[in-house]
Amino acid sequence: MEKFSFKSTAEIEIPKNPIDRVIGQEIAVKFAKISAIQKRHLLLVGPPGTGKSMIARAMAFLLPKPEYEISVIENPEKAERPIIHICSRKDAGINEEVEKTVGKIIPKEEIPSFVSERLGFRCRRCGALSSADIPICPHCGADKFKMRTTPFDDMLAVRSMKKQDRVPALWKLPNGKEQTVIFERYGDKIRMLTTKDVQMLESLEAQKKRRVIVSLDRSTFVQATGASETELLGDVRHDPYGSHPEIGIPTYKRVIAGAVHDAHEGILFVDEIATLSELQRHILTAMQDKHFPITGRNPTSAGASVRVDNVPCDFIFVAASNIQQMEEIIPPLRSRIRGNGYEILVNTTMPITPQNTLKMYQFIAQEIINDGKIPHANKSAVDELIKFSIKAAKEVDNTTGYSLRFRPLAGIIKLSGDFSIFDDSSEIKKEHVVDAEKYAKSIEEQLTERHGSLYKAQFSDYGRKQKRSDVGSI
């Protein structure tokens, strides 16, 4: 129920879906929804604190769960070219299921006693069966793995047997034929494997030589702000032992996916896209090809010769920028976004209507809840906050309306909340907001207030010797 009269922001309902929490950006939200459904790219342009990152994050909730898992498997022919393996959710883990059905579990009592002894289940002295994990027979106390005592024991020092995992023996199959089979310790059971079963297990084992680099339970939201090349595009870790067959780490285990791959089937969000400079080209290539090879990016490392081709990276690209930095976005990237998506300028104000007033109430309640450390606000505090928003729209955008540059307002909400806690008040009151407005000013604003203008301030507070340009360069 929408209400204009309330005692506390605690009464205000907050939408469950993150996209419905975005205030005043109807057009951007509409295109965000379209982009999520139609898999289009999106560039959001506007000043800070207007909800660009919030919209990008909310878009991820509109996407279905990832359907594919990406792994790297060993290439037996060429270790430095591991092979990419893509597996659907349906097929993931299927090998584990198959493995469980191989062979036949045989009751321990039916197995030749020398087999169950060597597998660690039967005591050599008393013949009792117990778990293979217990080295001392719980029945008679004998050491299960000590050789039978001989008169020469003292001379031979310690002679103990090693517990075996597999023991071959003759066995009568259901068809009456005797055949050599393998008995294997399988958890706390014993399973019988024919030659065919052993081959089957070996092939399943070979498929296990893989490393999942992009898992099924990944998030559909990947942020690549300020990312380095390796973070964005992946890497092959350095192996100090240079893939030495015994002590080295196999190549396929050293492959690491980049943000572009993690964002497969999801959103790759780049805040302040202009600051990525050269990396923008790589993003463009990834967007066009929908796959991007992973190579070792440290030229001095052993990983540099390794490359995994065709690693999928089919993502929705969402970027944010302020207006001033638009020209630092490389033109082919912008034309790619326009060709298969949208460029949207976000709003900075919204008109004062009853509907929008309700949204402002919702915003204040949301910020209080998100903060988690401050109490709710009463109605007169809310009215004061709203007045601040109208004043900000006038001062900054020279518009009659509510300001959608939400950072300052969010700051005042937090500060007035802190003041109310300091006062031991159970709610934020108007006086806390009035107080907060006084103090929630940036240093520049404080200087302007004290000296009339920033220009005048530089001759006083900044000190005579220190010029403004020095301050600016810190």
Ligand X SMILES: Nc1ncnc2c1ncn2[C@@H]1O[C@H](COP(=O)(O)OP(=O)(O)O)[C@@H](O)[C@H]1O
Nearer residue to Mg ion within complex by CB, 126 or 323: 323
Q: Which does 25 bind (CB under 5 to 8 A by kind): Mg ion, ligand X, none?
A: ligand X
Which range binds ligand X by CB under 6 A, 362-370, 388-396, 427-435, 446-454?
Answer: 362-370
Piece of 44-52, 231-239, 387-395, 464-472 that binds ligand X (CB under 6 A): 44-52
The number of CA neighbours under 13 Å toward the Cβ of 259 is 21
Q: What six digits make up the tokens of 303?
A: 């990983």
In the complex, what is the shortest distance from the CB of residue 25 to ligand X, in angstroms, rounded to a whole number?
Answer: 5
Cα–Cα nearest to 276, from 223, 234, 318, 329: 329
Distance CA 272, CA 283 (A): 14
Q: Which is nearer to Mg ion, 53 or 399 (CB)?
A: 53
Considering CB distances under 5 to 8 angstroms, the limit depending on partner class, which of Mg ion, ligand X, none binds residue 49?
A: ligand X
Binding footprint of Mg ion, residue count (CB under 5 A)? 2
What CA–CA distance (Å, rounded) separates 295 from 173?
Answer: 52
The alpha helices in 122-270, defined as continuous H runs, are: 195-207, 229-233, 259-262
Least distance to ligand X, CB of residue 458, Å? 29
Least distance between Mg ion and beta carbon 86 (Å):
33
CB of 261 to ligand X, least distance (A): 24
CB of 41 to ligand X, least distance (A): 17
232 versus 410: smaller Cβ distance to ligand X:
410
Nearer to Mg ion, 47 or 248 (CB): 47
Indicate which of ligand X, Mg ion, none lies near residue 103 (CB less than 5 to 8 Å, by partner kind).
none
Note whether 403 and 392 are within 8 A (CB): yes
Give CA–CA dist 332/315, Å, rounded. Answer: 18
404 CB-near residues (< 8 Å, 6+ apart): 23, 24, 25, 50, 51, 346, 347, 348, 349, 350
Rg over alpha carbons for the chain, rounded to the nearest Å, is 34
**Any contact of residue 287 with ligand X (CB under 6 A)?**
no
For residue 84, the 8-state DSSP code is E
Q: Which residue in the set 53, 225, 275, 285 belongs to the binding site for Mg ion (CB under 5 A)? A: 53
Q: Does 22 bind ligand X (CB under 6 A)?
A: yes
Could you give the dihedral angle defined by the CA atoms of residues 42, 44, 50 and 56, in that order, rounded to the nearest 10 degrees?
A: 30
- Residue from 74, 91, 67, 81 nearest 310 by CA: 81
Q: Which is nearer to Mg ion, 271 or 435 (CB)?
A: 271
By CB under 6 A, residue 320 contacts ligand X:
yes
Task: Give the per-residue contact string, 367-406, with ligand X (x = CB under 6 A; - = no).
Answer: x--x---------------------------------x-x
Q: What CA–CA distances, in Å, run from 234 to 56, 80, 256, 322, 453?
A: 23, 16, 5, 28, 49
* 317 in Cβ contact with 341 (< 8 Å): yes
- Rounded least distance, CB 342 to Mg ion, Å: 18
The listed partner (ligand X, Mg ion, none) that binds 419, CB under 5 to 8 Å by sort, is: none
Q: Which residue has the tokens 């990008």?
A: 56
Using the minimum distance from each CB to ligand X, give the nearer residue, 116 or 220: 220
**Contact mark string toward ligand X, 401..430, x via CB under 6 A:** ---x-x---x--------------------
Q: How far is residue 78's CA from residue 92's CA, in Å, rounded to a whole number?
A: 25
* Cα(109)–Cα(274) distance, integer angstroms: 72
Binding mask 47-76 for ligand X (x = CB under 6 A): -xxxxxxx----------------------
The encoded tokens of residue 150 equal 């001989």
Site for ligand X contains 103 (CB under 6 A): no
**325 vs 370 by CB, closer to ligand X:** 370
Strand-pair category, 255-256 with 235-236: antiparallel
SS3 for 428-441 is ECHHHHHHHHHHCC
Shortest CB 362 distance to ligand X, Å: 8
Q: Which is nearer to ligand X, 112 or 411 (CB)?
A: 411
Instruction: Number of residues interacting with ligand X: please give it, by CB under 6 A.
Output: 19
Taking CB under 6 A as the rule, does residue 23 contact ligand X? yes
CA atoms within 13 A on the CB side of 318: 29
Handedness of CA 67, 341, 225, 409 (dihedral sign): negative
| Sole window of 171-179, 268-276, 294-302, 337-345 interacting with Mg ion (rule: CB under 5 A) | 268-276
**Close Cβ partners of 17 (under 8 Å, ≥ 6 residues apart):** 58, 61
Which one, 318 or 457, has the nearer CB to ligand X? 318
252 binds, among Mg ion, ligand X, none (CB under 5 to 8 A by kind): none
Residues that bind ligand X (CB under 6 A): 21-25, 48-54, 320, 363, 367, 370, 404, 406, 410
Residues that bind Mg ion (CB under 5 A): 53, 271
